[in-house]
Amino acid sequence: MSQSASNANILWFLPTHGDSRYLGTSEGGREVNFNYLRQIAQAADQLGYYGVLIPTGRSCEDSWIVASAVAPFTERLRYLVAVRPGLQSPSVAARMTATLDRVTNGRLLVNVVTGGDPIENKGDGIFLSHAERYEVTREFLTVYNDLLEGKAVNFAGKHIRIEDGRLLFPPVQAPRPPLFFGGSSDAGIDVAVDTVEKYLTWGEPPAQVAEKVAKVKAVADKRGRKLSFGIRLHVIVRETNAKAWAAADDLIKYVTDETIASAQKIFARMDSVGQQRMSLLHGGRRDKLEISPNLWAGVGLVRGGAGTALVGDPETVAARIKEYQDIGIDTFILSGYPHLEEAYRFAELVFPRLALDRPDHISRLRANTGPFGETIANEQLPLRRASQS
């Protein structure tokens, strides 16, 4: 039986690969520069998000540089940054990890990304099969984890060889920053259960997520390990369900059939099982995008990776999140377009309806402490609706 996660960690997203009011078009496109990323991070910090995910890949700004540049402008926000087995030496990655964890005073989370696009991998100098990449990932994490835990490492594997590897300056978090990992294939699950703390899935319908969680738990139980679980989703929240669905339709109103076909062709070349599962949810078709109640696959028509969004009013979206919590999901990595405005919408509309692990500098909104809306006629404080209290 699955165990409900009582409190949720809610992370937001820094869109280092671009942001817009609409998908699949330059219409409404927004320049994503340092100042904009800093705005989103500071908003997430102030609103009480647990952290932010910074994506990785050749379509993105480098996640380590962005995190180190933005983190000094926030107080409690954590940064989920990618290590890339095969692209980085595990020793160099360990030093980068320890350094960023120290300079952020223990606010680093680590996302292990094996990579699922063979074309992009070749552009980065990686000519390995799907199975070989997970072999590298296992060897990489063996060395990386030992170094961060203060061990001297001598390792001779199939792909990686280290002699007298040492980390002189340890991370703040002990024994090391938490590791997040997403891999839907059997090879990915096999590596995850031995090496990381949190297993991630993209936003599939609850029944499919429940099957995946049960599968991972069964493997972990056999090996005497316990993992927690997270999910990556987009959100489209408005004050009514009708407004939310209208916003979803609006988000893809400039997406053409040619754009969809071009995007799906790129996704089809990938050997990522997770991406294949995402693509199957909609099949490149516009006519059946609500794949389970309030779970909409329209984002995945043109966006790789996370391709589904929770759509609805605050009560509905909170209820859907609680369904995932009942499966055992305790961490939600969310995003929405545009990312600055949607960060506010989600926090203001949905946070009050969830039990959250919140930073201790965040308090629930109260009319006498602000922010509380604009004072009426320079004298009266606006009253909150009873349903929001």
130 lies in some domain: yes
pLDDT at 9 over 60: yes
Q: What is the pLDDT of residue 209?
A: 96
Statement: residue 241 has pLDDT above 80? yes
Cα dihedral 344, 23, 305, 8, rounded to 10, equals: 20
Say how far apart CA 13 and CA 165 lie, in whole Å: 34
Burial state string for 21-36 with b = 16 or more CB within 10 A and e = fewer than 16: ebbbbeeeeeebeeeb
pLDDT digits (tens, 9 = 90+) for 77-131: 999 999 999 889 999 999 999 999 999 999 999 999 987 677 888 888 888 888 8
For the segment 257-263, the average pLDDT, to the nearest whole number, is 81
| Tokens 């891999």 found at | 183
Of the candidates 80, 140, 130, the residue with the CA atom closest to the CA atom of residue 104: 80
Residue 367: what pLDDT? 40
Convert 136-145 to b/e letters by CB count within 10 Å (16 or more is b): bbbbbbbbbb
Q: How far apart, in whole angstroms, are the C-alpha atoms of residue 74 and residue 107?
A: 10
pLDDT surpasses 90 at 370: no
- CATH number of domain containing 246: 3.20.20.30
* Model confidence at 247: pLDDT above 70: yes
Confidence band of 359 (pLDDT split at 50, 70, 90): low
Residue 312 lies in a domain: yes
331 or 17: which carries more pLDDT confidence?
A: 331
Model confidence at 387, pLDDT cuts 50, 70, 90, reads very low
| pLDDT at residue 99, rounded to an integer | 97
**Mean pLDDT, the chain, whole residue set:** 88
The conformation of residue 285, written as its DSSP 8-state character, comes to -
Domain for residue 96, yes or no? yes
Which pLDDT band holds residue 374 (cuts at 50, 70, 90)?
low
- The pLDDT of residue 265 is 77
pLDDT tens across 305-354, in order? 788 999 999 999 999 999 999 999 999 999 999 999 999 999 999 999 99
CA distance 135 to 83: 15
pLDDT at 186 over 60: yes
Instruction: Give me the mean pLDDT over the 132-150 stretch.
Output: 95
> pLDDT band for position 226 (50/70/90)?
very high
The C-alpha atoms of residue 153 and residue 165 are separated, in whole angstroms, by 5
Domain count of the fold of the chain: 1
Domain with 177 in it? 9-388
Q: pLDDT value at position 141? A: 97
Q: Is 123 helix (H, G, I), strand (E, B) or coil?
A: helix
- Domain assignment present for 256: yes
User: Is residue 4 one of the residues assigned to a domain?
Assistant: no
Global confidence as pTM:
0.88
* pLDDT of residue 27 exceeding 70: yes
Q: Does residue 302 carry a pLDDT above 90?
A: no
Residue 372 confidence (pLDDT) above 60: no
Q: Is residue 1 part of a domain?
A: no
* pLDDT value for 369: 44
The answer to the question of residue 341 being in a domain is yes
Could you tell me if residue 3 is inside a domain? Answer: no
Written as one string, the DSSP assignment of 133-182 is HHHHHHHHHHHHHHHHTT--EEEE-SS-EEEEE--SS--SSSS---EEEE
Instruction: Look up residue 25 and give its two tokens.
Output: 């078009």
More confident residue, 131 or 6: 131
The per-residue pLDDT for 380 is 63
Predicted confidence at residue 232, as pLDDT, reads 95
Whether omega before 206 lies within 30 degrees of 0, making that bond cis, reads: no
Q: Which residue did the predictor score with more confidence, 375 or 315?
A: 315
Q: What pLDDT shows up at residue 271?
A: 59
**Residue 196: pLDDT over 70:** yes
**Residue 202: which pLDDT band, with cuts at 50, 70 and 90?**
confident
pLDDT-derived band at 377 (thresholds 50, 70, 90) equals low
